[in-house]
Amino acid sequence: MNPLETENRSLKRTLHVMISKAERNRDILHTFQEIELRLLSCNSLADLLDMLLITLREYFRLDDVRLLLFDPEHAARDLIPDYNPPRGDNCLAFTEDYRELRELYDEPVLPRLGCHSDQLTEASFGPGSRIGSAALLPLVRQNVIIGSLHLGSVDPSRYNPNVATDYINHLASVIAVCIENCISQETLRRLSMIDMLTKVHNRRSFNHELAREMSRACRSRHPLSCLFIDLDFFKKINDGYGHPTGDRVLRGSAQTIKDQLRKTDFIARYGGEEFAVLLPGCEAAQAMQIAENIRRAISAQAFVADNGKQFGITLSIGASTCSEHDLDPQNLNDLAELLVASADKGVYQSKAQGRDQVCYCPIRPEPEQQELMPQSPAQAAEPGDSQVASLPS
């Protein structure tokens, strides 16, 4: 073989290697771009966490993915109280100690690729980890490490510390931006839907939830009940003990009401001293029982004024139910307004009868039914017996 032919073959091999590398880089770039777009499209922190802990692992065929977030004020944790990590709590962790994150990286803070020491591997993936090599990605915003994403493989040759980190560095930056944006957006959204004094939902949130639950009840053909709860003589508490004491009463009452509800129920502060509750799937009798449980729990609660004096409060509660027979997909908005108006009417009836009781008001009273005369809590009737009924105290 002459020298020219040898050189030609060598050039062809070199060209083939370069083309293979270019195609591989193209595929890598395409994968990273696709991942980036999906990350940027996440609308909630829970969706973003699933993307990081599940999708990244599948995309890159990893053996372990873990995320550690710096969360000193529990801002992230408070946004995802019901989030369940895909592989238990060991793949998602939060820290209030900035040093825990800072100790994972050298100066300057850059991704760390390769086979790490046993100590660093244990800190990144937990004790007993079988990870042979890993990529540790610092999630940095404004020169502060807000988290650390750990991509692990049992293959010791998977991550090489000598390879370029352009792609993975860019990915870390995108993830950091997405985490910060999701936390900020959800915090603002939550602030707009939460009553800051009582920490339950506000009236705007209630109206939104009412429309959603009414639509869901119509689809599933399940009843939807509503409670309106008013604190009796609340103005006297503010006038007699001061507004700070009144605020404590509102906060304590909201928590007590919430403690009597199921996870699927919804509570909101509807007005000054008035709360509204939605009870999905509850018939009238069950709604009345929940209301009575709330009334008794509040009656048994003791509050303390600034001067040290203890006092109690009572509630007037109105209840109403939209049964599956009432549901009409063409008339859901009117039904929602009628449900709320009926529960509100029950509150007025409760107050007219002496307060500290539960009164039921159907959304469609029969024309021949007469107005119920005021009665004491001990003279309760079943919800279906009359237009307005009260439970015994």
Which amino acids are annotated catalytic? 273
DSSP 90: G
d(CA 131, CA 116): 9
Query: Do 287 and 227 form a contact (C-beta atoms < 8 A)?
Result: yes
H/E element, 350 = helix 332-352
C-alpha–C-alpha distance, residues 182 and 50, integer Å: 13
Which backbone phi and psi does 145 adopt, to 5 degrees? Answer: -80, 110
Contact 312, 299 (CB under 8 A): yes
CA distance 336 to 108: 59
Which residues are paired to 275 by β-bridges?
A: 229, 269
Q: How far apart are CA 130 and CA 122, in angstroms?
A: 10
Tokens for 223? Answer: 């009843």
Tokens of 338: 């009628």
Query: 373 in helix, strand or coil?
Result: coil
What is the rounded distance in angstroms from the CA atom of residue 153 to the CA atom of residue 156?
Answer: 7
SS (H, E, C) 335-346: HHHHHHHHHHHH
191-199: long-range pairs with CB below 8 Å, 24+: 195/268, 195/269, 197/247, 197/250, 197/251, 197/269, 198/250, 198/251, 198/253, 198/254, 198/255, 198/269, 199/251, 199/254
